[in-house]
Amino acid sequence: MGGGLFLIASVPIGIGMMTDGELAHGLLVALLPLLIAAGGTCAGMVFVGLPATSLIMEEPPETRRRYERVGALGGAVLPTLALIIVEGSDPLFVGVGGFFLGCFGALAGLTAGSVWGRWRESLAQRPAATTPAAPINPIHDLLF
């Protein structure tokens, strides 16, 4: 889902603001949903994706379904935690808002987990090449 739905509304509003002479504010309104989605995606990759890959590599088999489950769970939990941190203790707002953000985050995490899991399955099916005895760069080995 990301920022796509909000961009549909925010881009025309931002363009309207830019034509009225508010160039900086209009550009910010037009691109803010995209910037928020990019930040959430990066946070999900760093805090969910890379640790999950490390753990799933240790317990074979690496399947797409395992990555999908972890992605959906992480996508549901991260936005809800962010809302709790930002908004504090309003139970109605955090409960309802956290539920909706968690649903969209779970869908986004499921999609990301599916794509990443398919990539990891294809890596596992490749014939083993000669590998060095000790990993040179462990982060690189997680990705490639």
Among 6-10, 92-96, 107-111, 135-139, the minimum mean pLDDT is found in 135-139
Read off the DSSP letter of residue 13: H
- For the whole model, what pTM was predicted? 0.69
* Residue 10 included in any domain: no
For residue 111, the enclosing domain spans 62-124
Q: Where are the beta strands (DSSP E) in the chain?
A: none
| Radius of gyration of the chain measured on its C-alpha atoms | 19
Under DSSP, the state recorded for 46 is: I
Residue 1 pLDDT greater than 90, yes or no: no
Q: Is residue 70 part of a domain?
A: yes
For the cut 70, the answer to whether the pLDDT of residue 45 exceeds it is yes
Q: Is residue 80 domain-resident?
A: yes
**Any domain includes 109:** yes
Query: pLDDT per residue over 102-134, tens digit each?
Result: 898 899 899 999 999 999 888 888 776 665 566
